[in-house]
Amino acid sequence: MIADTAHGPVEEIPRLLELVGADVPPVNIGRIAELLGARIYAAELDNPSLDGLSTIDPAGATIYVSERLSPEWKRFVVAKELAHILLERSAKNGIRETDGSILEIATELLMPREQVMTAWSGSHNARKLALLFFVPEQVMKTRLAALDVSPA
């Protein structure tokens, strides 16, 4: 597990990606969870509208992701829960994140901007990129729109 830093979640992402060797997609989101001291479990969640949740205690964090989701959606939900954990760590260290929402952090973890732009230049196809990054196609389309490129 890596130690807390004085950085906000957005600034911490490049360091996490480097530590897991995320030079090419897909990013090993499970390894990022390990580095943050988080355990991941697929579970049948009591609330059917709930896709995931995380708990944080002194021993670390636990992420529960709905077992009914596809593997791609599970990865996205885990990334969102990791974003919550990163935001909680930042708040604990007195840093208030103002420019990074949960979705922005999660998408940068799974689909780093530079990697997406490089892949986009070779294939202007959102479906192919979703397969490459192992994310839901709709999530990739949203990411491409946020990066001001038009998904095909």
The domain locations on the chain are 9-110
Share the mean pLDDT of the chain. 87
Q: What are phi and psi of 112, to 5 degrees?
A: -55, 135
Supply the CATH classification number for the domain 9-110. 1.10.10
- Over residues 34-77, the pLDDT tens digits come to 999 999 999 998 888 889 999 988 888 999 999 999 999 999 99
Q: State the pTM of this model.
A: 0.86
- Find the angle CA(93)-CA(96)-CA(102) to the nearest 5 degrees: 110
